[in-house]
Every structure is written in C-alpha cells, then in structure tokens.
Amino acid sequence: MAESSQRSTGFIAFFLVFAATLFGSISLQETVVKNVVEGVFPNYVLYTKVLPAEWIIMSRDLSTGESYGQQRARLNDIFYAIRNGEYEPQDRTLNELRGKRELKEYVMQTERTLYFVNPYFAFLPLHIFLAGLVAFLISMFLPSGNLAWIRGKLMREYDRVGSLLEKQFDAHDVDFQAILNADRDRREQMLRFTTLPQVVLSEIEDYNAVRRWVNGETANPFIPITFYFRYRISASYGNLIQGLVSGGAAILIFVIGLRGLKLIPQEEPSLILMALSIEFILLIVLMVTFAGSAQEERLDRVVKELEAEQRDAIKQQTEALHEVLGKAGAGGGGGGIPTGDSISEYEEQRLLDEVLSMMIKEAERRRSV
C-alpha cells in the first residue's frame, strides 16, 4: 500500500512538471519562433497580432521609394480592417475569411508569399514532446524519494537485472560479487573459464556502470538513461515504438495526399506542420531506442552461442567415434564393423531411406484410393 502511494505521488509530481513545462513552452513559442524566423529565414516577416488564432508569415516587401510606402499603407489598412471587423461586423469568422482573401489578393499583386499558421495546432506535438522530455529528465535525476517517479522505475529495473544476473551466476557455481568487483580485464579473463555465455559480459558492464552511478561514484547522466532505455524501453516497448513510427508515416502520407488534392490550401500549412512534427518526434524516439538497445536481443545471442558450442561438441564426439571405430576395425581384423563410411554418411543414408519409405507408402495409399 505504501509503495502504491509512493508511485502515485511520483506520478503526480511528474505530471505537474510536465504541465508547467508545457505551459511555459507554449507561452514562449511566439518569442522563439520570431527569433528563428529572423535568424534562419530573414526574407520573411512574422505577424502575430492580426488574427486571433493564427500567425501570418509573409515574405518581405523588397520594393523601394513611393511604391514601398503605398504597399505598406495598404497592408496596414488590411490589418486594421481585420482587427476591427470592418469586412463583416456581424460575423467574426466571416470577417477573418474576407480579410484573408484581401491578403491573398494583395500578395498576388505584389508577388509576395503568404502563409497562415495556427501555432497551437502546428507546434503542439513539439510542445508535448519537450514537456515530456523535461519531466522525464527531472524525474530521473531527482534524489531518491517519493517525487522521483522515473528514478524509482530505474531502481526497480536495476534490482531486477542484478537479481537475474546473480541467479544465473549461482546456477553456474560462479561467485557473482567476485566477478562484479574485479576490473574489466580481470573480469573477462575469469568469465572465459566459466560455462556462462559471453553475452553476460556486456550485461555485467552495464550493471556495474549503473551501480557506480547509483552509489555516487560517477555523475555521467548518459549511464542511467542508456541503462533504462536498453533494459526497459527497448525490451518492453521496442515493437510499440516501431508501430507508432509506421502510424506517424501513414498520417503524414494521408495529409500530404490531402494537400495534393488541394483540400489543404497551400497558404495554410498548419496540418502539414503537425504531421511533420509527429513523425519527427517518433523518429527521434526510435533513433534513441535503437541507439540505446543492445546489438542483438539477449535470447538470440545466447541461442547463437549455444548453437556454436553444440556444433563444437558434436564435432569432437564425431572425431572421437571415428578414432574408436578405426582402432576397433584395425585391432579386430575387420570384426564386421564397417569403417569405410563415416558417421555423417551413415546418418544421411538412413534419413534418405526413411524419406524414400515414406514416399513409397504415400504412393501406395493414393493408388489404393
């Protein structure tokens, strides 16, 4: 009951950090986007106070002299009419649509480019991702306590991996603590003379690194993140993340298709920006998951090592049988033991006989029917 209460408290703290970061990110988006437009796209100007829920991104007016003054005055008149509802005083939505039409006619005459962007719609996935990332990192690196929800999950994974390794070492009659306390070179040398699979070596290195982080012997922030993604996120949610990436790609293709059918106007890219943001975030998560995961799944690597060991054992047994049969044939003057064929040839012949017998029986059954 107490553990459940601690988890609830940690989750509430995580959600509060997430909500505060999300609110702060949305509040600062206008300043951030303005700086990005000015620094990265100097040929464009951002207007945020004309439409209530949309921003206007327009290419700069590069005309000079009297022409520039006239065009600037007309643009200000259109902005003023939109803000004060002069196009349609009785209907706010219709007033905005007519104002957009006037702006489109204006940019066509002045050969400029115009975009209407809804920031709360286009950039919401990025805000959610940023808030989730900040909440994850804060909850990961908070000192141990009820508020550190992600750190608690990390510690449970740390205990689980340590318990599994200890049980495996005990099953092979190997001193787990002695291996763990040895340096890397000594550890590799000791594991060479055990029956443990070599995959255990990388797991011991990961476990030892995160143990040093837990004990405060190192402050490298990538150690717990890598450990958590490798042994928790990648192992439990790898397929789910790949499925979400495929779903994001499907959404993006669908939105681009709507744009190709002209159902989404060229000057209103908010839906396309949202789809691009979703796919970008999912690909980043997939990249981090793959980068933090092991090269192969643990079971696959263990099976490959067992197969290699089994092949070596069979080869040694076959060679030993050849020696025994050769000695028996030489010592007994033949003794009726066939030494001309190898064991492998004998097994192949036996399998061929069985297959041929089955084929004959099947042919007889069909003939009788």
CB 242 within 8 A of CB 286: yes
| Predicted model pTM | 0.74
Look at residue 309 and tell me whether its pLDDT is greater than 60. no
Reported confidence tier of residue 356, pLDDT bands at 50, 70, 90: low
Residue 330 has pLDDT above 70, yes or no: no
Average pLDDT over every residue of 238-244: 88
Confidence of residue 284 (pLDDT cuts 50, 70, 90): very high
Which pLDDT score, from 0 to 100, does residue 340 have? Answer: 45
pLDDT at residue 315 tops 80: no
Residue bearing the bigger pLDDT, 194 or 367 = 194
3-state secondary structure (DSSP) of residue 329: helix
Q: Mean pLDDT across the stretch 56-70?
A: 85
User: Which stretch, 3-17, 310-324, 342-356, has highest mean pLDDT?
Assistant: 3-17
**Which pLDDT band holds residue 346 (cuts at 50, 70, 90)?**
low
At 348 the pLDDT is 61
State yes or no: pLDDT of 337 exceeds 70: no
Q: Is the pLDDT of residue 115 over 80?
A: yes
Judged against a pLDDT cut of 60, whether residue 317 lies above it is answered with yes
β partners of residue 44:
59
- Report CA 193 to chain centroid distance, whole Å: 37
Q: Indicate the pLDDT class of residue 94, thresholds 50, 70 and 90.
A: very high
Structure tokens at 250: 């499907």
Q: Which residues lie below 8 Å from residue 254, measured CB to CB, with a gap of 6+?
A: 275
Q: Identify the CA nearest to 143 among candidates 25, 13, 15.
A: 13
Residue 290 has pLDDT above 90, yes or no: no
User: What average pLDDT score do residues 246-254 get?
Assistant: 92
Which of 209 and 301 is assigned the larger pLDDT? 209
Per DSSP, the residues of 80-129 read: HHHHHT-S-TT-HHHHHHHHHHHHHHHHHHHT--EEEE-HHHHSHHHHHH
Q: How confident is the model at residue 338 (pLDDT cuts 50, 70, 90)?
A: very low
Instruction: Find the helix or strand (DSSP H, E) in which 155 lies.
Output: helix 149-171
How many Å apart are CA 161 and CA 123, to the nearest integer?
39
Q: Name residue 115's beta-bridge partners.
A: 57
Non-local (6+) Cβ contacts of 290 within 8 A are 234
